[in-house]
């Protein structure tokens, strides 16, 4: 009865060890949920989706492979850090073995190495390795995680720039199509006007021919504008939808330009929030820890093992010993410690150290270049945004003047004071002015998005 009770308790102890190890493993490897944008379904009413810029960015983050690859790399480096941290901590294992040896008429059996004909081993093992190389490896993986995190931010900001270009590219393409429709209508009305004036003997046949040529050109421009709009819609659909859905609308919010911060404010934001600079700094820290790890490979390491359980000829915590005539306790502990001193490895460790030194030098060069590039790009992108912002008012005024010029020129033509060439020139000037204003608004939004790749959101 006593043996069975001790065996039951030993089984509970072993089960607790196995369950604890499993829980530790699950806690270390459970992935964190990734928050992504809205789903790809249409609205509940079946109407086309209406997307804002923020909706488009959220969808692109869900479907863009480069951004998802950066997230995957970050997740992998995070798990690598968890593995390196686990190497610094004690780990628990359970060993269960049974040895059967052919008998020879004695209690020892035929094989000298075994302790008996039957030998049962049921032990929990706590293992700990003390090595400075593991410490350096943990610090390296922590720095590598910081690099991956910064690259996720770089990918996210680059994706925002791509979406802004595609999103407002579609907005402007739709505007240009509307402008081409208006120009086509104006050319058709002018053709009808010139035909009426010709019938009344007020203008020559050449005016009708010129008006007809203008009408045909506007029809071709309308076709090209429709093609450009469809191409822009396809480009945006590829970014946003996993099922290549083209049944959506975008919100035109270009009429309200964003305010532009002063350059010192932008410079301060870039110094604090630039992910490329953070990635370069983290890369230097990673390289430093690689050097430290390579150097620690020349130092000794210590392994300690603690065993608790049974290693006996019966699978029980107690058994009867014929030699002494009494019960003996099989449940017990043992401990081992081993010290490893690296002596000679034909230069392998020295080679790893030299490789780490070369990578660290390269990381320092890349950090210096990243700092210089940040300063140069910051000034260039800011000047671009500032120039685009200053030109918006002038472009808007030009579009208004071109519309008024066309109206007055048409009236003068009806009164016989202007030529057909002046009317055609006014029509073309209005189309160019409207398209230039639309392009200027997109240029400013893209310039802001480009600047925010360095500074983050204003």
Around 310, how many Cα atoms within 13 Å sit in the side-chain half-sphere? 24
Q: How far is CA 336 from CA 105, 191, 305, in A?
A: 34, 102, 5
Cβ neighbors of 88 (< 8 A, separation 6 or more) are 134, 135, 138
Q: Nearest CA to 310 among 438, 92, 114, 120?
A: 120
Q: What is the pLDDT of residue 254?
A: 86
Query: Three-state SS string across 173-234, please?
Result: HHHHHHHHHHHHHHHHHHHHHHHHHHHCCCCCHHHHHHHHHHHHHHHHHHHHHHHHHHHHHH
Tokens of 54: 């923020």
Taking only the tens of pLDDT, the chain with its 458 residues reads 334 443 434 443 434 433 343 333 433 333 333 333 334 445 445 678 899 999 999 999 999 999 999 999 999 999 999 999 998 999 999 989 887 887 766 666 656 666 777 888 899 999 999 988 889 999 999 999 999 999 999 999 999 999 999 999 999 999 999 999 999 999 999 999 999 988 988 888 999 999 999 999 999 999 999 999 999 999 999 999 988 889 999 999 887 777 788 999 998 988 888 899 999 999 999 999 999 999 988 989 999 999 999 988 888 888 887 777 788 888 899 999 999 999 988 989 999 999 999 999 999 999 999 999 999 999 999 999 999 999 999 999 999 999 999 999 999 998 888 999 999 999 999 999 999 999 999 999 999 999 999 998 75
- pTM, whole model, 2 decimals? 0.75
- Please give the backbone phi and psi of residue 52, each rounded to the nearest 5 degrees, phi first: -90, 175
Q: What is the spatial distance between Cα 236 and Cα 301, in angstroms, rounded to a whole number?
A: 57
Q: Nearest CA to 454 among 394, 375, 385, 400?
A: 375
Domains and CATH numbers, the chain: 1-30+93-130+301-341 (no CATH), 57-89+133-299+350-455 (1.20.1600.10)
Q: What is the pLDDT of residue 416?
A: 87
Q: What is the pLDDT of residue 46?
A: 65
Q: Nearest CA to 363 among 312, 263, 288?
A: 288
DSSP 64: -
Helix, strand or coil for residue 112? coil
Q: Give helix 132-199 / helix 275-296 axis angle, nearest 10°.
A: 160
Q: Give helix 420-455 / helix 132-199 axis angle, nearest 10°.
A: 170
Buried b (16+ CB within 10 A) or exposed e, 50-80: ebebebbbbbbbbbbeebeebbebbbebbeb
Q: What is the spatial distance between Cα 199 and Cα 303, in angstroms, rounded to a whole number?
A: 107
DSSP 282: H
């Amino acid at each position: 009865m006593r043996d069975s009770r001790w065996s039951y308790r030993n089984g509970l102890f072993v089960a607790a060890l196995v369950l604890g190890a499993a829980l530790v493993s699950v806690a270390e490897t459970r992935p964190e949920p990734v928050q992504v944008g809205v789903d790809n379904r249409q609205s509940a009413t079946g109407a086309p989706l209406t997307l804002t810029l923020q909706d488009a960015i959220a969808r692109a983050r869900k479907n863009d492979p480069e951004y998802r690859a950066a997230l995957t790399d970050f997740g992998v480096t995070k798990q690598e850090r968890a593995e390196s941290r686990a190497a610094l901590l004690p780990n628990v294992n359970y060993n269960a073995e049974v040895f059967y040896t052919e008998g020879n008429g004695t209690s020892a059996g035929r094989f000298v190495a075994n302790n008996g004909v039957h030998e049962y081993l049921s032990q929990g093992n706590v293992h700990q390795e003390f090595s400075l190389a593991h410490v350096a490896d943990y610090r390296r993986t922590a720095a590598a995680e910081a690099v991956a995190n910064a690259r996720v931010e770089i990918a996210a900001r680059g994706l925002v720039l791509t979406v802004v270009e595609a999103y407002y590219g579609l907005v402007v393409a739709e505007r240009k199509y509307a402008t081409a429709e208006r120009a086509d209508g104006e050319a058709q009305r002018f053709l009808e006007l010139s035909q009426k004036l010709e019938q009344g003997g007020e203008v020559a046949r050449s005016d009708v021919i010129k008006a007809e040529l203008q009408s045909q050109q506007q029809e071709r421009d309308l076709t090209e504008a429709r093609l450009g709009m469809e191409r822009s819609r396809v480009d945006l659909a590829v970014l946003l939808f996993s099922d290549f859905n083209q049944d959506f609308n975008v919100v035109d919010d270009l009429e309200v330009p964003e305010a532009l911060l002063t350059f010192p404010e932008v410079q301060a934001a870039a110094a604090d929030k630039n992910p490329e600079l953070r990635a370069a700094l983290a890369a230097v820290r990673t390289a430093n820890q690689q050097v430290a790890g390579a150097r620690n490979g020349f130092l000794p390491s210590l392994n300690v093992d603690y065993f608790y359980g049974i290693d006996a000829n019966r699978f029980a915590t107690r058994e009867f010993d014929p030699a002494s005539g009494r019960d003996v306790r099989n449940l017990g502990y043992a401990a081992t410690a081993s010290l490893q001193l690296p002596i000679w490895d034909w230069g392998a460790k020295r080679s790893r150290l030299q490789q780490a030194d070369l990578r660290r030098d390269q990381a320092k060069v890349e950090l210096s270049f990243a700092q210089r590039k940040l300063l140069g790009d910051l000034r260039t992108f800011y000047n671009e945004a500032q120039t685009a912002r200053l030109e918006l008012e002038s472009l808007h005024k030009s579009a208004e003047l071109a519309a008024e010029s066309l109206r007055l020129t048409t009236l003068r033509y009806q009164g016989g004071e202007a030529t057909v060439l002046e009317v055609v020139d006014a029509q073309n000037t209005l189309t160019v002015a409207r398209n230039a204003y639309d392009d200027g608004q997109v240029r400013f939004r893209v310039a802001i998005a480009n600047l925010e790749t360095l500074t983050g959101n204003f």
